[in-house]
Amino acid sequence: MTNLNTIDLAAVADEAKIEDGDVVIAKSTIILRRFLRNKTAVAGLVIFLALTLFSFVGGFFSSWDKEAIDPFNIGMPPSAEHLLGTSQAGIDLYALTVEGTRISILIGLVVGLVSVLIAAVYGCTMAYFGGKADKVMLFILEALIMMPALLVVAVATSGGGNGLQETLPSWLLLIIVLLVFSWMGTARLIRSLSMSLMQRDFVKAAQYMGIPPRRIVWRHLVPNIGSLLVLDITRGVTGAILAEVAFSFIGIGIKVPDVSLGVLIGQATSQVATFPWMFWVPLTVMFLLTGSLAMMNDGLRDAFDPSSGSIGSAKKKKTSK
Amino acid sequence: MSSEMTASAESSTLSTAERLRVAGLHAPDDAPADAVLSIRDLNVRFNTENGVVHAVRGIDFDLRAGRTLGIVGESGSGKSVTSMAVMGLLPETAEISGSVRLNGKELLGLSDKAMCRHRGNDLAMVFQDPLSSLTPVYTVGNQIIEALTVHNPTMTKRAKEARAVELLALVGIPSPKDRFKAFPHEFSGGMRQRVMIAIAIANNPRVLIADEPTTALDVTIQAQVLEVLHTAQEETGAAVVMITHDLGVVAGMADDIMVMYAGKPVETGSVDDIYYNPRMPYTMGLLGAVPRVDIAEKTSLVPIEGIPPNLVHTPTGCSFAPRCPLASDSCLQGEPELWAVAGENLDGGMPHKAACIKTDSLGLEVDVHEIFRAPAVPVSRFDAIPREERRTVLELRDVKKHFPLLKGALLKRRIGTVKAVDGLSFDIREGECFSIVGESGCGKTTTLLEIMEFHKDQDGEVVIGGLSNKEASDARTKSAMRKELQMVFQDPTGALDPRFTVFEVLSEPLENAGMAKAQIRKRIMELMELVGLQPDHVNRFPNQFSGGQRQRIGIARALAVNPKLVVLDEPVSALDVSVQAGVINLLDKLRAELGLSYLMVAHDLSVVRHISNRVAVMYLGKIVEIGDVDAVFDNPRHPYTRALLSAIPVPDPALERTRERIILEGDLPSPLDAPAGCNFATRCPVFAALPPARQEKCLTLEPPLEPLPAPGPGGTPAPPTDQQFACFYPDGELDADALVVHETN
C-alpha cells in the first residue's frame, strides 16, 4: 500500500494540540453546560423528576389506596389521618392524587415520545421521497388535521367504542386517540426541516454512494433533527397532559374508576366552595407538572440554539481577576 | 480609560515601549501627521465556552490618505475582527483595548451613537457578501439616499437624488437614472457589490474598509469590482484597508501589506518587500502555497502543515513555531516582536518588519520549497503512455439538460427554455485530470449532476467505464457505476454527517458494497493512511478536525470503493490557502499512485492550471474552448478564455501593474434570451471591435467547436494539439475600451 506518512509527522503535532488545547468540546457537553447554566430550567427538571418519583412511590407513604372508602371521614378537610382530606365518597385525596399524577404523566410521556417518533419518521420519509409520495402523505396529514379530534375522542371513549372499552382500560384508549391526532403539526415541521437537510451535501454523498433510501432517512436525517425532536418531546408531553386534563374535565377522557388529574379537577369544579381542597390540590399538581415542563423547554431551547446569547462561563472568571 | 487600565495590569511581561504605549503615553504625534487612521496596540478578546479568546493581539499601523493597506491572513487570524473593531461593530461582549485614531480623534470608547457620526461618513465599509448586505425591500436609490440623509440632513431631496445617480454612474452601473429605481434583486452579485461601494463612498469617506469584497464573486466580475474600487479610491482620495486571503487580489491593489497570523501582524512592509523579499517563514509559505495561473512549469505547492494556534492560551513562543519547519528551541523563548528588516525604504511606505528571530538569515537565496519540504512532483505511470492509447473512463456524447420555464399559477404555460447544458461532448482517459471552468451559471455543476444522475431518460449518452446510461440502467448497473465513479464535495463540513464518526463515514460505502466487518476495519486503516490522517483518529467526529483534514476524510470516503474516476466539485475553494496546497498535493499524489482520473469543476483557474491535464471552458451551457491545459492557458484562442485568464490576479505586484486586463462588459446574460448566433457576442470584446459587416456572421451563425484550421501554404505549421474552440475570429482585434492597464506610481 502507498505510504504518505511524511504528511503525518506534522499532522501529529496539531492533533496533539487539538487534544491538549481542549479546542473541541463535544456538542452534548456544550448543550449540557448551557442547560445547567439556566437555573429556571434546572428547577423545572428537578420539579418534574420529583413529581414523577412521587407518583410512583408516593403510594407507600399512606395506608389508604384509591379504592378504600373511609366511612368515618366523608368529605373531610385535610387532617392528620388524611393528609389532603377526603372526597365526598370518603376516598383519601392523597391516594387519588398520586394515582392521578401517575396516569397523567404516563399519558403525557407516552403520547409525547411516540407522537414525535411517528412525526419524525413520517416527516423525513415525506421529505426524502418528495414528488408523488410527498403529495399523498401530505394529503393524509392534512385530512387528519381537518378531522375534529374532540368528536372522535368523545365517540371513541363513550358511545361508539363499546367493544374497545371492554378490552382496553380507558387511559390506554385515550393514549391511542391522542396519538392519532397529535403528530401532524410536528410532522409538517420536520418535513420542511428535512427538506433543507436533503440539500446538504452529506445526503447527496450517501445517495451517490448508492445507500438505500430507508437507511438514509434513519441514519442521516432523523439524528440530524435530534435537537428539534427533544424540544418537541417536552412540548408534546405538556400538550398531551393538558389535552388529557381538558378531555377528562369535560367528561370524555378518562372514565371513573380510573383516576387522572383531569378527572379529579372535573369532579371538584362544582363544589369549589364546599370542598375547596378537592379542587386546589389536583390543580396545583397539574400546574407544577406543566409549569416545570415549560421551564425545562425554555432552557432546552436556549441550550440547543446555536445563536443564543449564552456566552461562556469565562466571563465570570475574567471579571473576578 | 478603564479598558486600558485592565490592559496595563497585564502588561508586566511586555516590553518597555509597549508598556508606555499601553499606559496611554503614546501621544498622537507618535503617528505621522498625515495619517488618517492610526491604530496602536489594538487588542480584542471574546468570551466563549472554551475560555477567553484573544482574537487580536496588538496591532499597530498608520494609514495615510490615498494609500491602500492589504491585510492578508488565514481565516481566524483576526483580520475581520480588526476591521470590525475599527468600525465599532463588535458585539458588546467583546473587550477592546488600545487606541484607534481617526484624524487624531480617538474612536475606541465612543458610544454607539457617537460612532454613528463616523460610520458611513468618514469611515465606510464594503462587506463580503453583496447578496445579503442590501435590504431587499428598498430600491437601491433609496438605500444610497439613506446613507446621504443620515449624514447630510440639510441636503435637498433633489440634490440627494442627483448625487445618488452620480454615484451609480461612478461605480459603472449602466443607465444609472433608470437603475436608480431598481430593487436589489434586479441586480446581479457584481452589480450589488458596485452599489455597496457606491453607498460606502457616498459621503467621501476618509477611510474605506473592504472586507473580502470580491470573494463571493466570479473572476470576471472580480476584475470589474476591483476596477471600481480603484476608481472609487481615486475619486475620493480615501485610504483603503483591503482585507483578503487572496494574495493575488492585493498584489495589484495594495501599496502596503500586513500579514497577520494568530491575531498578530507577523510581517509588514511595502507590497514589493513582501512579495519579492519575504522574511517571515509564514509569508514565504503563503506565497509558495498559491498556484500560479501564468506559469506552466510543474512544481509541487508548498504545504504549511498544521493549524493556527488556539488563541485561548497565550502563546509562549513564536505563534508560528509549531508549523514552522525552521523552528528551533530559541523560537519557543518568548514571542518575537516585529523587527525592522535591513534594506532601504524606497517609496516611503510601511517599513519592512518581520516577526522572526531568523529574519536576517532568510534572504533572497532561500528556496521556499526546500524549507517547507514540498513533496516531489509525483509521476503517474500513465504519463508515459500517449493519450490515445489509454482507456476511456468517462465519455459524454451530446448531453443536454434543458429546464422548461413555466409561468402561471394554475395552468402552467411554457414561456421559454433554460439551456443549462447544451450539447456537451468530451471524454476522460485513464490517469488524467479534466477540468471544467467558467463563471457561475455556465452549467458546470449541472454537468456534474447529469453525470452523477446516470439515468436512462437523459438527453444524450453518458458512458462510465464502459457502462452506458442508454443501455441498462437497472439497479445492478447503477451500483456497478457507483463503484467506478465517486464524488468529493466543495464544502467539506457539509459533506460529512456531523453525527457520524470518521469510522462510520468511511464504513458506510464499504458496508453498502457488502464487505465483511474485519475487511472494513482493515480498509479504513488503509484509507486513513492513504490520505495522510492519523489512523487512530477514526473515532472522532468531523467537527474535531480542521477544514483540510475534513476534506481529506471526504477524499478517503470517495476512494473507499476503489473508483476509477473521482468527480471533484470545487475541492479546495472552501479551504485556506495554506491548507489548500496540502490537499492539492494529495490529489496530485493519489492520481499518480492509484492511477485515478479526475473530473474537476473549479472557478479558480490557478488551481486548474496546476492540477489538470486537459481543460474545457464553458459559457452558457456550451464548451467554447477545450484542449490541453498548457495549450489553452498559454495560447487561448476564444476571446472568452482570453478574458477569463486576464482577469485572474497574479501574486506578483510588478507583473500585476503592467498586465493588460480584459474587462468584460456586464454579466452572464440570462440563458433565457440566448442569442441565435454566438452566445458570447453580447459581451465579446472582439465582436465589439469588428466592422458591422463581419459582426453579422457572429449574430446569425453559431460557431462550431473545431480545431484550428490548417495553416495556409505560407504559414508556419501548427504544432499538433487537440485544442478546439468555437469562434469565427480567434485572431480578431480586441476592443480598446475593454482593455485596462494599471500604471501605478
Please check whether residue B187 lies inside any domain of the structure.
no
In A28-67, the residues whose Cβ lies within 8 Å of chain B are 30, 33
Q: Which residues of B touch A31 (CB under 8 A)?
A: none
Please check whether residue B725 lies inside any domain of the structure.
yes
Min Cα distance B533 → chain A (Å) is: 6
Contact A210/B549, CB-based, under 8 Å? no
DSSP state of B11: G
Query: Do B698 and B591 share a structural domain?
Result: no
For the domain that residue B483 is a member of, what is the CATH number? 3.40.50.300
Residue A318: φ, ψ to 5°: -60, -50
Burial class (CB in 10 A: 0-12, 13-18, 19+), B9: exposed
Cell reading at A170 = 380507558
Supply the pLDDT for residue B160. 92
Supply the pLDDT for residue A158. 67
Supply the pLDDT for residue A163. 60
Adjacent-strand bridge partners of B207? B123, B239
| Mean pLDDT of all residues belonging to chain B | 82
What distance in Å separates the CA atoms of residue B577 and residue B524, rounded to the nearest whole number? 28
Q: Which residues of B touch A3 (CB under 8 A)?
A: 529
Supply the pLDDT for residue B715. 44
Cell reading at B212 = 473580502
Burial class (CB in 10 A: 0-12, 13-18, 19+), B213: buried
Confidence band for B410, pLDDT divided at 50, 70 and 90: low
Which chain B residue has the Cα nearest residue A20? B310
Three-state secondary structure string covering B361-409: HCCCCCCHHHHCCCCCCCCCCCCCCCHHHCCEEEEEEEEEEEEEEEECC
Q: Which residues of A touch B479 (CB under 8 A)?
A: 210
Asked if pLDDT for residue B523 goes beyond 60, the answer is yes
Report which of A196, A222, A226 is spatially closest to residue A300, judged by C-alpha positions.
A226
Contact A202/B497, CB-based, under 8 Å? yes
Please check whether residue B190 lies inside any domain of the structure.
no
Burial class (CB in 10 A: 0-12, 13-18, 19+), B452: buried
CB distance B99 to B39 below 8 Å = yes
What's the CA dihedral at A128, A134, A139, A145 to 10 degrees?
20
Lowest-pLDDT range of B214-228, B237-251, B636-650: B214-228
Asked if pLDDT for residue B716 goes beyond 60, the answer is no
Contact B544/A17, CB-based, under 8 Å? no
Q: Is B208 an 8 Å CB contact of chain A?
A: no
pLDDT per position as a tens digit, B84-113 = 899 888 888 888 999 999 888 888 888 888
Q: Is A113 an 8 Å CB contact of chain B?
A: no
Q: Is B52 an 8 Å CB contact of chain A?
A: yes
Min Cα distance A311 → chain B (Å) is: 6
ipTM computed for the complex? 0.71
Confidence band for A160, pLDDT divided at 50, 70 and 90: low
Query: Do B605 and B481 share a structural domain?
Result: yes
Query: Can you say whether residue A11 is alpha, beta or left, with left for phi > 0 and alpha for psi between -120 and 50 degrees?
Result: alpha
CB distance B321 to B335 below 8 Å = no
What distance in Å separates the CA atoms of residue B164 and residue B144, rounded to the nearest whole number? 6
Contact A205/B495, CB-based, under 8 Å? yes
What distance in Å separates the CA atoms of residue B341 and residue A147, rounded to the nearest whole number? 80
Query: Do B101 and B23 share a structural domain?
Result: no
Q: Is A250 an 8 Å CB contact of chain B?
A: no
Cis peptide before A257 (omega within 30 of 0): yes
In chain B, the N- to C-terminal Cα span, in Å, equals 42
Q: Which residues of A touch B322 (CB under 8 A)?
A: 13-14, 17
Best of B2, B5, B50 to mutate (most A CBs within 10 Å, chain A): B50
In B487-506, the residues whose Cβ lies within 8 Å of chain A are 487, 489-491, 494-499
In A262-281, the residues whose Cβ lies within 8 Å of chain B are none
Query: Do B433 and B354 share a structural domain?
Result: no
The tally of domains found in chain B comes to 4
Q: Under DSSP, is residue B264 helix (H, G, I), strand (E, B) or coil? A: strand
Where a domain ends, among B371, B403, B427?
B371
Report which of B255, B293, B223 is spatially closest to residue B740, judged by C-alpha positions.
B223
Cell reading at A305 = 440554539
Report which of A252, A302, A244 is spatially closest to residue A236, judged by C-alpha positions.
A244
Where a domain ends, among B599, B623, B647?
B623
Percent of chain A topping pLDDT 90: 10
| Mean pLDDT of all residues belonging to chain A | 78
Report which of B99, B182, B115 is spatially closest to residue B151, judged by C-alpha positions.
B115
DSSP state of A219: I
Report which of B448, B449, B451, B472 is spatially closest to residue B460, judged by C-alpha positions.
B451
What distance in Å separates the CA atoms of residue B243 and residue B35, rounded to the nearest whole number? 19
Confidence band for B720, pLDDT divided at 50, 70 and 90: low
Range B1-8 average pLDDT:
42
Supply the pLDDT for residue A17. 42
Lowest-pLDDT range of A262-276, B549-563, B591-605: A262-276
Q: Is B305 an 8 Å CB contact of chain A?
A: yes
Cell reading at A132 = 408523488
pTM (whole model) above 0.90: no
Confidence band for B742, pLDDT divided at 50, 70 and 90: low
Lowest-pLDDT range of A300-304, B327-331, B580-584: A300-304
Contact B495/A3, CB-based, under 8 Å? no
Cell reading at B314 = 497565550
Question: Cell 487580536 belongs to which residue?
Answer: B56
Q: What is the CA radius of gyration of chain A?
A: 25
Range B268-284 average pLDDT:
88
Which chain B residue has the Cα nearest residue A200? B494
Which chain A residue has the Cα nearest residue B482? A209
Range B672-686 average pLDDT:
78
Query: Do B472 and B503 share a structural domain?
Result: yes
Contact A11/B561, CB-based, under 8 Å? no
CB distance B640 to B730 below 8 Å = no
Query: Do B268 and B325 share a structural domain?
Result: yes
Query: Do B558 and B427 share a structural domain?
Result: yes
Confidence band for B736, pLDDT divided at 50, 70 and 90: low
Q: Is A142 an 8 Å CB contact of chain B?
A: no
Confidence band for B360, pLDDT divided at 50, 70 and 90: confident
Min Cα distance A114 → chain B (Å) is: 23
Supply the pLDDT for residue A139. 92
| CA B447 vs CA B504, B615, B678: distances in Å | 30, 14, 21
Q: Under DSSP, is residue B639 helix (H, G, I), strand (E, B) or coil? A: helix
Cell reading at A45 = 427538571
Contact A314/B529, CB-based, under 8 Å? no
CB distance B248 to B293 below 8 Å = no
CB distance B728 to B698 below 8 Å = yes
In B567-586, the residues whose Cβ lies within 8 Å of chain A are 582, 586
Query: Do B22 and B40 share a structural domain?
Result: no
B485: amino acid identity, one letter: L
Contact B508/A206, CB-based, under 8 Å? yes
Q: Write out the H or E segment, with its range, that includes residue B518.
A: helix B517-530
In A194-223, the residues whose Cβ lies within 8 Å of chain B are 200-202, 204-206, 208-212, 219-220, 223
Q: Write out the H or E segment, with its range, that includes residue B266.
A: strand B264-270
Please check whether residue B549 lies inside any domain of the structure.
yes
Q: Write out the H or E segment, with its range, that includes residue B487.
A: strand B485-488
What distance in Å separates the CA atoms of residue B434 and residue B426, rounded to the nearest whole number? 10
Please check whether residue B406 lies inside any domain of the structure.
yes
Question: Residues A237, A238, A241, A242: is their CA dihedral positive or negative?
Answer: negative
Query: Do B412 and B342 share a structural domain?
Result: no
pLDDT per position as a tens digit, B453-497 = 887 788 888 888 888 887 766 777 878 888 888 999 888 888 888
Q: Is B537 an 8 Å CB contact of chain A?
A: yes
Supply the pLDDT for residue A100. 87
Where a domain ends, among B371, B395, B413?
B371
Supply the pLDDT for residue B11. 40
Asked if pLDDT for residue B164 goes beyond 90, the answer is yes
Please check whether residue B382 lies inside any domain of the structure.
no
Query: Do B455 and B414 share a structural domain?
Result: yes
Q: Is B714 an 8 Å CB contact of chain A?
A: no
Confidence band for B158, pLDDT divided at 50, 70 and 90: very high
Burial class (CB in 10 A: 0-12, 13-18, 19+), A311: middle
Nearest to B512 among A23, A25, A209 (CB): A209
Supply the pLDDT for residue B358. 81
In A221-240, the residues whose Cβ lies within 8 Å of chain B are 223-224, 226
Contact B512/A7, CB-based, under 8 Å? no
| CA A131 vs CA A137, A145, A213, B620: distances in Å | 10, 21, 15, 29
CB distance A180 to A144 below 8 Å = yes
Please check whether residue B198 lies inside any domain of the structure.
no
Which chain A residue has the Cα nearest residue B544? A24
Domain range for B660 is 636-741
Query: Do B475 and B420 share a structural domain?
Result: yes
Report which of A11, A14, A15, A12 is spatially closest to residue B582, judged by C-alpha positions.
A11
Three-state secondary structure string covering B653-709: HHHHHHCEEECCCCCCCCHHHCCCCCHHHHCCHHHHHCCHHHHHHHHHCCCCCEECC
DSSP state of B732: P
Contacts of A23 (CB under 8 A, 6+ apart): A17, B50, B310, B312
pLDDT per position as a tens digit, B493-509 = 888 888 888 888 999 89
What distance in Å separates the CA atoms of residue A27 and residue A304, rounded to the nearest whole number? 9
Question: Cell 532561500 belongs to which residue?
Answer: B366
Asked if pLDDT for residue B77 goes beyond 90, the answer is no
Nearest to B529 among A3, A13, A211 (CB): A3
Percent of chain B topping pLDDT 70: 88
What distance in Å separates the CA atoms of residue B36 and residue B38, rounded to the nearest whole number? 7
Query: Do B43 and B17 share a structural domain?
Result: no
Nearest to A14 among B307, B482, B490 (CB): B307
In B584-613, the residues whose Cβ lies within 8 Å of chain A are 586, 589, 593-594
What distance in Å separates the CA atoms of residue B199 and residue B142, rounded to the nearest whole number? 10
Query: Can you say whether residue B416 is alpha, beta or left, with left for phi > 0 and alpha for psi between -120 and 50 degrees?
Result: left
Percent of chain B topping pLDDT 90: 13
pLDDT per position as a tens digit, B45-67 = 988 777 788 889 889 888 888 89
Lowest-pLDDT range of A221-225, A228-232, B403-407: B403-407
Q: Which residues of A touch B487 (CB under 8 A)?
A: 204-205, 208
Q: Count H helices, E strands: chain B? A: 25, 26
Q: Under DSSP, is residue B286 helix (H, G, I), strand (E, B) or coil? A: helix
Q: At what angle do helices B281-289 and B577-594 cross, to 10 degrees?
A: 50
Residue B98: φ, ψ to 5°: 110, -150
A299: amino acid identity, one letter: G
Supply the pLDDT for residue B740. 66
Supply the pLDDT for residue B599. 93
Supply the pLDDT for residue A1. 37
Please check whether residue B628 lies inside any domain of the structure.
no
What distance in Å separates the CA atoms of residue B247 and residue B226, rounded to the nearest whole number? 14
Range B152-181 average pLDDT:
88
Contact B313/A21, CB-based, under 8 Å? yes
